[in-house]
Amino acid sequence: MSKKLITTPYSTTVYQISKMMEQGIGAVLVKKDSATVGIITDRDFAIKIVANKYPLDTPVEK
């Protein structure tokens, strides 16, 4: 079984990522222009974003 890759622009906010993860998405590829520049997983979200209390309007580029 294959899964669709979920991508998001570099400027997407932490809040927007949280909404994706509420839908059961466990990882999101971050794109800048046409290049993949990173990945955010549900673990990244829990450890880095929530634990460090980043504001919801923080872009994922940070």
- In the chain, the percentage of residues whose pLDDT exceeds 70 is 97
* pLDDT of 35 above 90: yes
CA 59 to chain centre: 9
pLDDT in tens, 38-61: 999 989 888 888 888 889 899 988
- So where are the chain's domains? 7-50
Evaluate whether the domain defined by 7-50 bears CATH number 3.10.20.
yes
CA distance 14 to 46: 11
Residue-by-residue DSSP string for the chain:
---PPPEEETT-BHHHHHHHHHTT--EEEEEETTEEEEEEEHHHIIIIIITTT--TT-BTT-
Name the average pLDDT for the chain: 89
Q: Which residue has the higher pLDDT, 48 or 11?
A: 11
Checking DSSP bridges between strand 27-32 and strand 7-9, what pairing results, if any? parallel
